[in-house]
Structure 1
Amino acid sequence: MLPLLLLFLVPATALPHLQTRAVSAASWNSLGCVKDGPGRLLPKQLADSQANTPDACVTACAAQGYRYAGVEYSAQCYCGNTLSQANGLGAGSNACTSKCSGNAGLTCGGSWVMNLYENPQVPKSLGCFADASNRVLPVRGNANTVSGCVADCKNRGQAYAGMENGNECWCGGSLPSTSADSSKCSSQCRDGACGGTWVISVYATGSSGGASPSSSPAPVTTPTQPAGSNPSSPVSANAPASAVIGTANPPSAGGAKAVYAHQMVGNAYSYAVSDWQTNINAAKGAGIDGFALNLGTENWQRARANDAYTAAASLGGFKLFLSLDLNSLPCASAADANTLAGYVAANARSPAQATRNGKVLVSTFAGQQCTFGQGNLDAGWTYFRQRLLAAGVDMFFVPAPFIDANSIGQRSWLDGAFNWNSAWPSAGAPIDTGSDNTYLNSLGSKSYMAAVSPFFFTYYAPPPASPGWNKNWIYRSDDWLLATRFEQLIAMRGKLDLVELISWNDYGESHYLGPEGKDIAFSGGWTTGFPHTALLSLVKYYAQAFKNGAYPAASDHVWLWSRPHPKAANPTNPTDSRPAHWEWTDDNLYVVVTLASPATVSINSGGNTATWNLPAGLSKLKIASAQGSIGAKIVRGNSVVKSYDSNGQFSYTNTPKDYNYNYFVAEA
């Protein structure tokens, strides 16, 4: 983290508006309409909200790791990991009749009844069991949450995981034989029951078991392959390594394609026009067509946005549009509609304003709660369009509201939709195009904007370490995420015209592509010394293919990225607990290489090495991480054409001081 003195040198208004990933209630299991009572079915009541919906409540409960979420009496949201035995009996669907305060078209419980939802990704407890000094689950795990312990024990080949004393993880192959009163397992982790004193909350891992107890998984070795036998297998390797060779030719497609980058104006407090010009030139050089300016509520953000338009207009060839951050900006009243319409109109006639079909391009982050005083979501956004037309602005609206994707195309007030969450996998598997296809099927002839991102990790501790922020999780960023995601969208370029990179400068969520900024409030502990700008030349390679329908001629180039420590490492001085979903990632060095002609390529992470004979074009390589520096080299004939060694800049370590799941990126 930043030194304490430096933290207070950042003006309070300059702190970024931190975004949380919205969750759809449809992705949780609906348990129907159930009875509540004075003892409360779910113990954690959040503040009443005039923006309450099932999605909003589920998102809030998911962010805190709870198993259950419930909406009640229109504006109430409850969370919990267990259900009270006194309540929860089915009330019948007719009992839940209250309209949600955030969307009158949805139902949010009623008087002493709630619509209840269960997170299918939170492990279910098998019960509370007695423990003893000889340990009913004999293998000590490395985790302090239920989901982390289950993943760690599964990784060890153990069928059962148990949490004890609130923070101890234990693994074993047999279910304990002596049950205990469930009330004795009173310690709670943020994602479930965590035992107590000599009692253990036990969970199934899904592993068939059979592995002998050990402190770590058995090592895996990859046999040496003869040269030319299989180009995706290394010629030589002393650690697990693999490759994906080549890329498919982009399909032909009509329509004007564009690649934008999400820019947090909230992280531009110190920017002058010259700073905007520097960032715009860097983005232009990467094949990026413009910035989506994420605009929050502070007055200075509008001044910085105006400076951005001034800078872009002075340079030419780079476009901007507003992405109204509706987790920050109010949108409940008619006056709010007039205010936001004024923000859009302020620069709508600038030569730097992005347009689509001759109309002013506008987007949002969120907005599913906005009614603008008109009674419901659809009427509210229709009213907003009317206010813009009254100001002389014809809008091409491509927002990112977190509403049911299957029905988003039915909304008459939007011209398309931005699928924000499509940038990352939703669990521990590689990214796919399932959500893209859902949006495309719903939107029909309307525009679809897809998301691309390199990484996601955020590590904001609870107060007082940060001003009320408690964001501590990762999304899977493996499998060459940036490259793989771009390749998916290039293959679909006949169906979509717009791509938005997340992000240019959201440092706190670790998916920044631009240069490290001046305003990195409270995120310096995991961003300082972790540049991502080396990816910009890779972005250019893919952006050209998306826009032009052909990959550029390949030159000899190598990109490398690695996390700084094993996913299950135990830091010596952590500032917060291990991030949620840490088990979703893998311990690998990822490399992308382009070759002008066939060559031999070697990569290394510490003492782990692998070498391939590769054809011309692009290949994606990986090898298991090991302690030490990372490196790569291209050899053609007897000459080293390109090489990189991170010695002095970056070293992978098994004993970090603090958690950091951000990536160090370099290029040769």
Structure 2
Amino acid sequence: MLSRILLCLLSLAHVAFAQHVFAHWMLAEAYSFTQNDWENDISSARSIGIDGFALNMNANDYEASRLVDAYAAAATFSNPDFKLFISFDMSYSWSVSGMVSIVTAHADSPAQYEWNDKVLVSTYSGDTGSYGNVDFWSGFKSNLANQGVSISLAPAFTTYRDPNLASKLLSTYPSIDGFMNWWSWPNDILANLTTDTDVAYQKAISQRTGPYIMGVSPWWYKDLSADQNWGLSTQIRSRIICGSKPVHLVVFEYMSLVQVKPDIVEIITWSGCGESHYIADLNPNINIGNATYVDGQDHAPWRKVAQYYNSWYKTGTQPTITNPKSAVCAGGITSAPRNANFPADEVFALTMVTSDAMITLDISSSHSEFTAHSNQVSMGSVPFPVEDSQIPYIQIPRNSVKVKDGYGSIFVEKTCTEYNFNPFVGIVV
């Protein structure tokens, strides 16, 4: 199997139709959101090259109102366009008529994203139970067509992860137009992610008229109640798929979008607090429920990485790294989660520098160094120290002169009151 990091010479000849970047937005977390909150999120997303939001919608009543606010906010950003499309969360109970009414309500919005002049509709899941019946999806499309709405259906059917099932997807579901590969994490094993699934399904779906949407994600950890099933094909209590050697997931994922060149990139997620892969600013109006491991855990610096690779993906040219002058950085459960042994006990540093530098990382007696190369993304790490309650320190010296340095904001502790594998992300500029 070819790893994502080794696919540099493959798929670069593929010319994508759109090359747009969307971010997955969990409407369930928008209970207290206002139109002003949406406008702030849209401005932040646009600033790093995100073209729109894929709005994950459950069957909660309040989500319909939040959908109205989101479309109204996005419509104010018509130049340049910021678009939205609906991603139905099929792990909840939906009827064809209910889905049709939601799509038709927003089909004519100036903020609605279209693929080949058709309203783009996606899903999370939708290929099991009653939804696995091909008549459900053909009925959904024909019902919309009868109301004058043509759609391009690009679902994320989550049981289709095995590259060998790509041809079966097309034969089983003749009514789908595109496909979204949701799987942006290793398959519950301590191993590097690969692009095998992306390559296989991208090739298969090219026989249809819809887009190939590739999910990318920097992390995945959740530890909620036993019956939660967000983003998983089976009900499990908690899991970690993230941050382990030899290559950090955030580097894998963003490098892979440059290599595979999908039609659309979907960042998982903008606001997925429950699964710890959010890249938005922490907002008190976000409903985090009992995901207390989100409190104070800033992920905003991940957007700097996303901005770099968004530009590379869209232009085909590796960006020149410049110093970010206006960068802003803000700053339970009783048993260990499954895969708790996967992440390394280390602090990782991902660097984007204008000229070569030897980076030093220290936590008390633990020390490491690595070379950061100009106009490249480089990465190093330092193991946790033997001493308790220590804080990381990073230095960027050049010609024996320290030009940048900074401390982390979280102490490395050997004891805790509850498990929290949600990472803290800091930045030195």
TM-score (norm 2): 0.85
Distance 1:356 1:423, change over 3 A: farther
Structure 1 vs Structure 2: percent identity of aligned residues? 27
Equivalent residue, structure 1, for 2:122: 363
Aligned-partner SS, 2:308: helix
Q: Tell me whether 1:487 sits opposite 2:243 in the alignment.
A: no
After superposition, give the CA deviation of every residue in 1:523-579 in whole Å (9 maximum; x if it has no partner).
44211111101111110001111111012111257xxxxxxxxxxxxxxxx632111
Q: What is the CA distance between 1:408 and its match in structure 2?
A: 1.3
Equivalent residue, structure 2, for 1:525: 292
Aligned-partner SS, 2:410: coil
**Counterpart of 2:122 in structure 1: which amino acid?**
S
CA contact (8 A) 2:23 2:268 kept: yes
Q: Tell me whether 1:387 sits opposite 2:143 in the alignment.
A: yes
Distance 1:249 1:530, change over 3 A: farther
Q: What is the CA distance between 1:635 and its match in structure 2?
A: 2.0
Distance 1:344 1:656, change over 3 A: same
Q: Distance in 1 between matches of 2:319 and 2:11?
A: 11
Q: Tell me whether 1:544 sits opposite 2:311 in the alignment.
A: yes
TM-score (norm 1): 0.55
| Matched residues, number | 391
Distance 1:477 1:438, change over 3 A: farther
Q: What is the CA distance between 1:666 and its match in structure 2?
A: 0.7
Q: Distance in 1 between matches of 2:130 and 2:224?
A: 31
Structure 1 gaps, min length 5: 1-243, 331-335, 464-468, 558-573
Equivalent residue, structure 1, for 2:427: 667
Q: Distance in 1 between matches of 2:257 and 2:335?
A: 36
Distance 1:249 1:409, change over 3 A: closer
Alpha-carbon RMSD across the aligned residues, in angstroms, is 2.4
After superposition, give the CA deviation of every residue in 1:441-477 in whole Å (9 maximum; x if it has no partner).
43243432111111111111459xxxxx972222233
Q: Distance in 2 between matches of 1:388 and 1:477?
A: 43
Aligned-partner SS, 1:533: coil
More strand by share: 1
Q: Distance in 2 between matches of 1:477 and 1:359?
A: 38
Equivalent residue, structure 1, for 2:333: 575
* 1:511 equivalent among 256, 274, 277: 277
* 2:201 equivalent among 436, 439, 456: 439
Distance 1:614 1:364, change over 3 A: closer
Q: Distance in 1 between matches of 2:205 and 2:14?
A: 18
* 1:616 equivalent among 363, 366, 374: 374
CA contact (8 A) 2:212 2:263 kept: yes
After superposition, give the CA deviation of every residue in 1:467-513 in whole Å (9 maximum; x if it has no partner).
xx9722222333321122111221121xx211111111111111111
CA contact (8 A) 2:258 2:312 kept: yes
**Counterpart of 2:273 in structure 1: which amino acid?**
Y
Q: Any residues of structure 2 matched to 1:304-453 within 5 Å, and which?
A: 304-316=66-78, 317-330=81-94, 336-369=95-128, 371=130, 377-404=133-160, 405-406=165-166, 407-410=168-171, 411-446=173-208, 447-453=211-217
Distance 1:425 1:651, change over 3 A: farther
Distance 1:662 1:472, change over 3 A: same
Equivalent residue, structure 1, for 2:40: 278
Q: Any residues of structure 2 matched to 1:182-193 within 5 Å, and which?
A: none
Distance 1:501 1:606, change over 3 A: farther
CA contact (8 A) 1:424 1:431 kept: yes
Equivalent residue, structure 2, for 1:598: 356
CA contact (8 A) 2:188 2:339 kept: no
Distance 1:352 1:641, change over 3 A: farther
Aligned-partner SS, 2:271: coil
Distance 1:250 1:538, change over 3 A: farther
After superposition, give the CA deviation of every residue in 1:337-376 in whole Å (9 maximum; x if it has no partner).
122111011111111111111111110011113657xxx7
Q: Any residues of structure 2 matched to 1:60-459 within 5 Å, and which?
A: 251=12, 253-254=14-15, 255-316=17-78, 317-330=81-94, 336-369=95-128, 371=130, 377-404=133-160, 405-406=165-166, 407-410=168-171, 411-446=173-208, 447-459=211-223
Equivalent residue, structure 1, for 2:230: none
CA contact (8 A) 2:185 2:220 kept: no
CA contact (8 A) 2:158 2:183 kept: no
CA contact (8 A) 1:588 1:624 kept: yes
Larger-Rg structure: 1
